[in-house]
């Protein structure tokens, strides 16, 4: 469906909420912090970004609407993320010798929806990730969509959707942790 058709159906495919500069700034800072946490492999800080029932989700196809009960590239709650962290930190995680290094750039931050009562947000953004390991560099590009809960200490991720542009491509693997 084209943009025009979407609009004639009364739905904006790229909704944006009118939010103040302060909110825009705060959410951008939150996304930058998440990117730094990944690049620096600060796993306790990573887990603390999510609500207790939060999920990190990378669908296996762009048209997927839910993660539950579907094939996914990533679909992880706290417990599965803890397994992954435990593995990456384990001395026998052979394919982490040498470990990979990443550099994340997050940009194009658009607040899609804002709940005036709770302060909860839905935020779209774009990312570029360069990964280096074993003399090889790979690049991943795509978009994030964060559903954020506003708490007393700032935002927490209820659901982070990650769509990579090469979603159906062959991989040796994507990343051994999150993009």
Residues near other proteins (CB under 8 A) are 58, 60-61, 69-75, 79, 82-87, 90-95, 168-176
Distance in Å, CB of 133 to other proteins, minimum: 10
Q: Judged by CB, which is closer to other proteins: 61, or 128?
A: 61
Q: End-to-end CA distance of the chain, in Å?
A: 29
Identify whether the C-beta of residue 179 lies closer than 8 Å to the C-beta of residue 129: yes
Token pair of 132, please? 């280096």
**Quick one: 120 exposed, middle or buried, by C-beta within 10 A (0-12, 13-18, 19+)?**
middle
Residue placing its CB nearer to other proteins in the complex, 67 or 146:
67
Minimal distance, residue 166 CB to other proteins, in Å: 10
Torsional class of 69: left (φ above 0), alpha (ψ -120 to 50), beta (otherwise): left
10/170 with CB nearer other proteins: 170
Closest approach of Cβ 174 to other proteins, in Å? 4
CB-wise, 86 or 151, nearer to other proteins? 86
């Amino acid at each position: 469906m084209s943009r025009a058709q979407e609009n004639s159906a009364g739905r904006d495919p790229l909704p944006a909420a009118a939010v103040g500069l302060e909110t825009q700034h705060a959410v951008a800072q939150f996304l930058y912090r998440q990117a730094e946490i990944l690049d620096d492999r600060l796993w306790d800080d990573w887990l603390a970004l999510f609500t207790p029932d939060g999920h990190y989700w990378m669908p296996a196809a762009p048209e997927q609407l839910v993660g539950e009960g579907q094939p996914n590239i990533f679909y992880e709650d706290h417990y599965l993320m803890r397994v992954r962290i435990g593995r990456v930190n384990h001395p026998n995680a052979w394919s982490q010798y040498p470990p990979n290094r990443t550099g994340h750039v997050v940009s194009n931050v658009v607040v899609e929806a804002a709940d005036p009562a709770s302060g909860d947000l839905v935020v779209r953004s774009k990312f570029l990730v360069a990964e280096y390991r074993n003399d090889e560099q790979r690049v991943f590009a795509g978009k994030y969509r964060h559903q954020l809960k506003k708490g007393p200490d700032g935002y927490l991720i209820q659901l982070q959707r990650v769509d990579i542009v090469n979603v159906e491509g062959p991989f040796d693997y994507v990343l051994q942790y999150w993009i």
